[in-house]
Amino acid sequence: MDKDQLTKFGAFVEENRGKRKFNQSVELAINFTGMDFSKQDNKLNMEVRLPNGKGKESKTMVFADDVKMSEKAAQLGAKVVPSSQIATVSSDKMKLRELLEYELFAQPSLMPVLARTFGQFLGPRNKMPRPMVGDISNMISNATKSIYIRSKGKYLPTVHCMVGTEKMKPEELAANIDEVLASVLKKVGKEHMKSVYVKFTMGKPLKLV
C-alpha cells in the first residue's frame, strides 16, 4: 500500500476494531476479470506465508505412527493421531468436524489410507493432510503463518482469504495484504485483477483497488 492507502486503511481498522465480543478476522476478497478458472493453467492453488502471521494461534494435527516423527510433532505442540485411531475419527461426526479446526499433516505412508477415509469429507473443503517431509519444525511453523488461496469453479471469478485479525496493527495487516496481492499478481497478471476489498468478519467492506 502507498501512504494514502495505508492512512485510509488505518482509519478503517480503527473504526471497526472492538465492535464485537470476539476477535474478528480481517478478510480479503479479490475479484478477477477475463479469467476462465475451468482451465487448469488458470486455477489458483497457492500457499502464501503472511509476514506477520494470522494474528491468532493455529492448531496442528499430525497423523503418524513413526516414533521420531510423533515425538517431534508433539514437542512442537501438534496433536498426534496414530493410524489405529483413524477409523474412530472417521466414524464420529463430532471428531470429523473437529478436523476442520486444524492444519493437518501426515506421515507419507499414511496418505493413501487417509485419502480413502477422509477424501470425500476433507477434499471438497481443501483440508486434506499434507505429507510430512523434510524439516518438521519448519513445516509446522510455516503452517501457523500461512494461508491458502484457491479458486472455486469457472463461474466464481473471486477468491477470499484471511489476512489477520483486528488485534493486529494496521501496518502489520497492510504488509500481509501486500504479500497476498503480490503472490496473486505473479499468477494472474495485473490486467486480470478487477477489484480488491477488505472487511472485518461482521463489518462492511472497504475497496482497496
pLDDT of residue 8: 93
Print burial letters for 127-164: b (CB count within 10 Å at least 16), e (below 16): bbbeebeeebeebbeebbebbebebeeeeebebebbbb
pLDDT of residue 144: 79
| Spatial contact of 188 and 79, defined as CB atoms under 8 Å apart | no
How far apart CA 161 and CA 142 sit, in angstroms, is 17
pLDDT of residue 124: 84
What are 81-93's pLDDT values in tens digits?
999 999 999 999 9
The maximal CA–CA distance of the chain, rounded, in angstroms, is 56
- Our measurement of the distance from residue 202's CA atom to the centroid of its chain's CA atoms, rounded to an integer in Å, reads 19
The CATH 3.30.190.20 domain(s) of the chain lie at 3-55+144-207
In this structure, how many other beta carbons lie within 10 angstroms of the beta carbon of residue 209? Answer: 13
For each of the chain's 209 residues, which pLDDT tens digit applies?
Answer: 888 999 999 999 999 898 888 989 999 999 998 888 888 888 888 889 999 999 887 899 999 999 999 999 999 999 999 999 999 999 999 999 999 999 999 999 999 999 999 999 998 888 899 999 989 999 988 887 888 898 876 556 889 999 999 999 999 999 999 999 999 999 999 999 999 999 999 889 999 98
Which fold does the domain 3-55+144-207 belong to in CATH? Ribulose 1,5 Bisphosphate Carboxylase/Oxygenase (3.30.190)
pLDDT of residue 153: 62
Which fold does the domain 59-143 belong to in CATH? Rossmann fold (3.40.50)
How far apart CA 45 and CA 31 sit, in angstroms, is 16
pLDDT of residue 154: 59
- The model's pTM: 0.78
**Three-state secondary-structure class, residue 161:** strand
What are 187-197's pLDDT values in tens digits?
999 999 999 99
pLDDT of residue 157: 85
| Spatial contact of 36 and 155, defined as CB atoms under 8 Å apart | no
Print burial letters for 66-84: b (CB count within 10 Å at least 16), e (below 16): beebbebbeeeebebbebe
| Spatial contact of 35 and 190, defined as CB atoms under 8 Å apart | no
The CATH 3.40.50.790 domain(s) of the chain lie at 59-143
pLDDT of residue 61: 96
What are 19-38's pLDDT values in tens digits?
888 989 999 999 998 888 88
In this structure, how many other beta carbons lie within 10 angstroms of the beta carbon of residue 5? Answer: 14
Please provide the size of the chain in residues: 209
